[in-house]
Amino acid sequence: MLHFTRTASALVGVGLSLGLATTGLAQTKDLTPKYSNDFLNIGVGGRALGMGNVQVSLVGDATAGYWNPAGLLNQKAKYDAVLMHSELFSGIVKNDYAAFSMPLDEQSAIGASIIRVGVDNIADTRALVNEYGQISYDRISYFSVADYALLLSYARRIGSIEGLKVAGNGKIIYRNVGKFANAWGFGIDAGLQYDYKGWRLGLMARDITTTFNAWSINSEEFQGVAATNDSIPTNSTEITLPRFVLGVGRSVQLPGSLTALVAVDLEMTTDGKRNTLVSSDVVSIDPKVGLELGYKNLIFLRGGVSNVQKIDASKSFDGKGGWRPQPSLGVGVAFSGLRLDLALSRLAIEKVGDQSATNSVIVSLGYAFK
């Protein structure tokens, strides 16, 4: 137990030390916008999203390439694949994900993940009125705004410490704003997991080297349409600062054929003060809690709480203030290698107009095969 306690303390120390170390960079760079590349923080997989995005210490399928690549070594089958589709804000935003993973041998595994988040068929009405002052609808063109990410993962067991797994991601990002602008980005993630007598610990360091997006602007598309007081954007570089997620989980056998899996994640951001439960100029921490109840490893019920924010009553839509969490629910069915997971997640923590517009149903399909 002493070895486990030392390892747990070390993981906590590493997570906090890395978070503090990057704060100086956040304060000295002027190209480090908050929420940079935030499309990569929406989450993937119906299981994870149903548990409030709590996965760093638990994940053990192809989605590990996203949540914590060290979890690729928990995969029980030879091959694993996952597909996910969700539509956010009443279908305006499409969120798609695909992943595949496989072991290389008993000590290592690899995986690949693709993510796309985008809005399609946006009308460009700048040419709606022709040279004669007449409205001509056939002059309307359409474009998409989309963000893409490719994650290539490698994981390996550390033979000298039983239960310890380390891994990394090579990350390629492409962002496109129609014919107006696009960006290419590159970065590295690192993760580890440690298992000891039913306890599971995990640490995920995203953008550990910082991720650089180089934007290329087609300035000709802005000529003649930019407002008088607006400046035309120019080519620039955007830097995404690191974020760290420390997680712990444990599975418990209940009476009969029931099991319970409880986990907690602490997500630490280093890009400035945020509206989180623990917030400072140095680091902001968002705690998350997830629960999964299983029956014979066939049927699963899930729930989670995350994104706790403090609402100012004078600025809220319902006139009520205080701390409010973002809840999520999910169900799953697993049979003969096939996994179907559904999740219901609320995008807003307070009611805004039609509440159905802020709720999102996520469907993911996974299959493990030999």
Could you tell me the residue ranges of all domains in the chain? 2-369
- Provide the pLDDT for residue 365: 93
Q: Work out the number of other CB atoms within 10 angstroms of the CB of residue 322.
A: 10
- Divide the 370 residues of the chain into consecutive groups of 10 and give the mean pLDDT of each group: 41 39 40 85 93 95 96 94 88 92 95 96 86 86 95 93 94 94 96 93 95 90 64 86 96 92 95 89 93 95 92 73 88 94 74 55 88
Q: What is the DSSP string of 354-370?
A: SGGGGEEEEEEEEEEE-
- Provide the pLDDT for residue 126: 81
Residue type, 174: Y
| Entry pTM | 0.85
Residue 71 in 3-state DSSP? helix
- Provide the pLDDT for residue 35: 84
- Provide the pLDDT for residue 351: 55
Q: Work out the number of other CB atoms within 10 angstroms of the CB of residue 9.
A: 10
The residue with tokens 């590295």 is 188
- Provide the pLDDT for residue 90: 76
**CATH superfamily to which 2-369 belongs:** monomeric porin ompg (2.40.160.40)
- Provide the pLDDT for residue 129: 85
- Provide the pLDDT for residue 282: 87
CA distance linking residue 92 with residue 96, whole number of Å: 13
